[in-house]
Chains A and B, each alone.
Chain A
């Protein structure tokens, strides 16, 4: 086809390559700035910055292990809660729902995506957390007896890792659902029709034909949700409870790296504190790198295409 490769095609290819190059460039710029800003803290505290529990601005001693764990726990818990829900919504609205319901559902999901993070945080603080403290947490800890395990023990403040995970889950459902719905709808009609021709029910056609066809796209949507869950700042900062220090309990207040940076960056005015915050952001960056790589590897094992 090279004879047909017109000048316009060359321009087009060049423009696209330029756009695509922006992604690694952006990432490199962010990584560089974080590394540069966080270097003094890393130099001072070494690897212990990531493994110790010691965040004390007054004593000028900084380490982020509890926040790191908190980030992972909230994000993964949120993803675990949100993904099935989002997939259910997507399959329902793309395949199974009557047309009127589908339009209403699309609108509802769009609205959920339109709600700003700060509003999720305020809603979480004023509606979800009191409801959790009054009903759900006592039920989990006392009625279900889960308080005997370390994961549900302790006093019930309200703002907690669990609250943050729930708010995150609500926030990322529209992300995953919107993308999953679109890729499901984009599956060519021929695929569905073939399934129907073979006598499949709607459900079977959806689950055994359409969803596998769109699997890589759905995975992309889940990655989107994971990204948001790892990086969300304000909403989490409002409901996670801002507590330094380890606690095994989901009902206890905790911290995430993003919330830590957001909470303290505005007020920090001495260089080491600032550097420690940049180092915390760099740690989050590293976490995102690792979690994304692991997710891809896991999915690759199940037999999807190589670059899903």
Chain B
């Protein structure tokens, strides 16, 4: 394979090939044309609102591009080699970051397995009508799993559509002040501790009615899902290039169909990730359920009654006095983590293959640098 330094010698000297199409969508930086040492220029060009954008941006790009070409035309390839070395170093550094991130995961999984695997059998046993886990006796978490499913169904049924709708609304209004306000409020909502949602739900949905219920718990969880999904969907939907939207509209699609059938579809993996993150978060929440769903020692999936939940059981079991029950708590935690992970895998798989290469964003076979392609010859 040829030295990358040689390859760059053949770049054309002019700047014309690098002029980007000015992106009319306000605030979106569609600016390639990086150069080795000119990060500043690119960032400021990237950040400038594109309202009168085209010409200003193009000038900056041309300047950066010519700088890059000067660098690239270095005959000895020394700078190019240094850049390659730096690229390798930084790749190694980020790989290290990835490894450091994965380390706690391994530790946590080991922790759960060591403490809970032995109790997994009796824990998974579905129960009869009574679950009462007296100290030392094995009692299944079946009721807790079913209860969690009911709670999640309510929470997702309420929270996901609302969050997605809010995310779509926000993404359509990038740069507008009302949307900026709503975005800010959503971020604030994200910082509200989960127990507060439980307390508020208790005030509004339990106290007036006189009894606990799965509805109250589900609503508290839904309130946590909404800002999470709204913000992640907003972030990802905003990345969809306007070209897609405009093409669909030009073909006569009504706006609602464009949004749901084209934009959402293009950004689906990201939206699904956001939804999964939200579901994973609320699936493991204990505090909002303490005074709403309350918990139930008996099998019950009636949404109008107190209902068991897996995180509640994990919490009370893992902190209880009986070693056997503690082991069950950890086993229950294993079940929860595995369940959420499997659900995530399934959801990703179900939404993965919908995209054709044209609409798939960023992850196609065309996105490798030239020096990595077979023989240095670009594919079609």
Residues of A with Cβ closer than 8 Å to B? 1, 4-6, 8-9, 11-13, 15-20, 22-24, 26-27, 29-30, 33-34, 37, 84-89, 91-94, 96-97, 105, 107-120, 122-123, 126-127, 170, 173-175, 177-179, 181-205, 207-209, 212-217, 220-221, 223-224, 226-228, 230-234, 257-258, 261-262, 265-266, 278, 281, 284-285, 287-289, 291-293, 296, 302-307
Once the chains bind, are A185 and B362 in contact (CB under 8 Å)?
yes
Name 13 A/B residue pairs within 8 A (Cβ), A-sorted: A8-B256, A16-B168, A22-B226, A23-B185, A122-B333, A185-B361, A186-B236, A203-B87, A208-B43, A220-B232, A228-B190, A228-B191, A292-B187
> A91 to chain B: which residues have CB within 8 Å?
94
Is the C-beta of B47 less than 8 angstroms from some C-beta in chain A?
yes
In this complex, what residue of A is CB-closest to B243?
A: A188
Contacts A127-B107, A192-B367 known; A186 to B240 CB distance under 8 Å? yes
> B34 to chain A: which residues have CB within 8 Å?
195, 198, 200, 204-205, 208-209
> A170 to chain B: which residues have CB within 8 Å?
104
Once the chains bind, are B337 and A111 in contact (CB under 8 Å)?
yes
Q: Complex: how many Å from CA A287 to CA B192?
A: 10
Once the chains bind, are A203 and B91 in contact (CB under 8 Å)?
yes
Most buried by A among B18, B170, B195: B195
- Chain A interface secondary structure, helix, strand, loop or mixed? helix
Contacts A19-B162, A30-B196 known; A292 to B191 CB distance under 8 Å? yes
Once the chains bind, are B32 and A27 in contact (CB under 8 Å)?
no
Contacts A177-B101, A213-B46, A289-B188 known; A281 to B175 CB distance under 8 Å? no
In this complex, what residue of A is CB-closest to B189?
A: A27
Once the chains bind, are B7 and A199 in contact (CB under 8 Å)?
yes
Once the chains bind, are A217 and B102 in contact (CB under 8 Å)?
no
**Minimal beta-carbon separation of B203 from chain A (angstroms):** 6
Of the stretches B208-216, B268-276, B299-307, the one at the interface is B268-276
Q: Complex: how many Å from CA A255 to CA B17?
A: 59
Q: A178-B277, A183-B270, A233-B287 are in contact. List 4 more A-B contacts (CB 8 A).
A: A9-B256, A113-B281, A122-B330, A197-B32
Is the C-beta of B298 less than 8 angstroms from some C-beta in chain A?
no
Contacts A24-B182, A119-B333, A193-B366 known; A186 to B239 CB distance under 8 Å? yes
Q: Complex: how many Å from CA A123 to CA B329?
A: 13
> A202 to chain B: which residues have CB within 8 Å?
87, 91, 369
**Minimal beta-carbon separation of B294 from chain A (angstroms):** 12
Within 8 Å by CB of A30, from B39, B192, B232, B267, lies: B192
**Minimal beta-carbon separation of A156 from chain B (angstroms):** 21
Once the chains bind, are B97 and A89 in contact (CB under 8 Å)?
yes
In this complex, what residue of B is CB-closest to A86?
A: B101
Within 8 Å by CB of A114, from B46, B191, B340, B370, lies: B340
